[in-house]
Amino acid sequence: MSELDSYYSYNVGKIVEEIRSRKSKKVLIQLPDGFKHYSTKLLGRLTKLLDNVEFVVDANPIYGSCILNNHILINYDLVLHFGHEPYPYTSHVNEKVVFLDFLSTLIPSNRLMNDLIAIIKSLSIRKVAMYSVHQHKGILGDVGRFLRNAGIDVLNNLGNATIMGCWFNDVLNYVNTADGYIVVSSGLFHSLGVGMLCRGLKHVIQLDLYRGEVRLLDDVVVKYLKIRYGKIMNSLDAASWCLINGVEGQFRNGVRERLIDVLTARGLKYLEYQSLIINQETLRNIDNEDIDVYVITACPRIPIDDLQDFEKPVLTPGEAFMILKNINEYLFPW
Ligand code: SF4
């Protein structure tokens, strides 16, 4: 069995059924960037079952379901998008796109669960809400039962508890009742997002199945919030604002219009750019003395996770609104 089939589960039957029922001949496969190296194994399996179908793998960056590369979908009968759920902020998705689960088969060891309980008890936490990234959603029920058996109250519906880097399901519904949040994810990205959404006021515990670690993230969240408040302070006197808009699901016209309204009302100058890729190089190409501050309306994680070190402040929409509307509480993501 390949590493792909040992560590991940995906529904081959559903793929075959979709392709046959739609009589698809040209199929585009989209995988999150971290899983693209499995594409040869996946193609090997699919071409054995469907030898009259032409499969092509989308090598463009796929960070989330916010961008489906609509400009190339036109060339295909069907798009198999693995490992993400439909983007909640997009009202219409191309009917050629089928979202497929790509779930980790990892389960937490007893040692890991005992570590989790130990951290929860050391913080005197009685009530939690628990969320996961897409690939770990299958284990939430088991982890929830374990916690309840240990006397911990799990408040939210674990059958619908996935989050994204800019969308946090019903996390805020529990901010007054939960003593803390548990996030099943790897890397800081999603758990940090929950911590920032809650303004660092709640404990955030990360259960990382890949590293086999339980981590209390409270200090990390506070560190990031301090950095973000520093960026906000450095932007208070900005006279010239540069909005960078994204494309597809990252083109947020409502956010953009609200920003323009408030900039105009305050008599501030602004200019707009639009880009699929937004990174240091994008800003270096644009930057000049006419720009005091950048606001990324595309992916709100770019200012926090990618452009924190840029020499001029790069803000999320929420941070921009804090300055422009005199809001003191941290506002994330918009
Ligand atoms: S965090 Fe960024 S990449 Fe992820 S879904 Fe949101 S906009 Fe897309």
Q: Which of 30, 60, 62, 63 to mutate to test the pocket of ligand 1 (most atoms within 8 A of CB)?
A: 63
Average pLDDT over residues 189-198: 98
d(CA 172, CA 254) in angstroms, rounded, equals 22
Q: What does pTM read for this prediction?
A: 0.95
Q: Pick the residue whose CA is nearest to atom 5 on ligand 1.
A: 64
Q: Which of 68, 250, 297 to mutate to test the pocket of ligand 1 (most atoms within 8 A of CB)?
A: 250
In tens, the pLDDT along 216-245 reads 999 999 999 999 999 999 999 999 999 999
pLDDT at 5: 78
- Residue ranges lining ligand 1, Cβ < 6 Å: 63-64, 66, 164-166, 250, 299, 301
Answer yes or no: is pLDDT of 286 > 90: yes
Cα→Cα distances 44→3, 5, 209, Å: 13, 12, 28
Strands in 213-216's sheet, in edge-to-edge order, are 153-154, 127-132, 180-184, 203-208, 213-216
Q: What torsion, rounded to 10 degrees, do the Cα atoms 110, 112, 115, 119 define? A: -130
In tens, the pLDDT along 250-278 reads 999 999 999 999 999 999 999 999 999 99
In tens, the pLDDT along 92-104 reads 889 999 999 999 9
Give start-end residues of each CATH 3.40.50.11840 domain in the chain.
Answer: 3-104
Closest-CA residue to 252 (of 327, 302, 179, 196): 302
pLDDT at 331: 98
- Domain 110-224 fold is Rossmann fold (3.40.50)
Q: In which band, very low, low, confident or very high, does the pLDDT at 322 lie, cut at 50, 70 and 90?
A: very high
Q: How far is the CA of 298 from the centre of ligand 1 (A)?
A: 8
Q: Which of 87, 299, 305, 334 to mutate to test the pocket of ligand 1 (most atoms within 8 A of CB)?
A: 299
Whether the Cβ atoms of residue 43 and residue 55 lie closer than 8 Å to each other? yes
Q: How far is the CA of 62 from the centre of ligand 1 (A)?
A: 10
Give start-end residues of each CATH 3.40.50.11850 domain in the chain.
Answer: 110-224
The residues, any chain, with a CB within 8 Å of residue 301's CB and separated by 6 or more, are 165, 166, 189, 193, 333
Q: Name the class of domain 3-104.
A: alpha beta
pLDDT at 2: 78
Closest-CA residue to 84 (of 181, 165, 193): 165
d(CA 292, CA 307) in angstroms, rounded, equals 15
- Domain 234-324 fold is Rossmann fold (3.40.50)
Q: How far is the CA of 67 from the centre of ligand 1 (A)?
A: 8
pLDDT at 92: 86
Tokens 């509307």 sit at which residue? 325
Whether the Cβ atoms of residue 292 and residue 213 lie closer than 8 Å to each other? no
Average predicted confidence (pLDDT) for the chain: 96
Cα→Cα distances 7→34, 74, 104, 137, 301, Å: 13, 33, 6, 14, 28
Whether the Cβ atoms of residue 296 and residue 302 lie closer than 8 Å to each other? yes
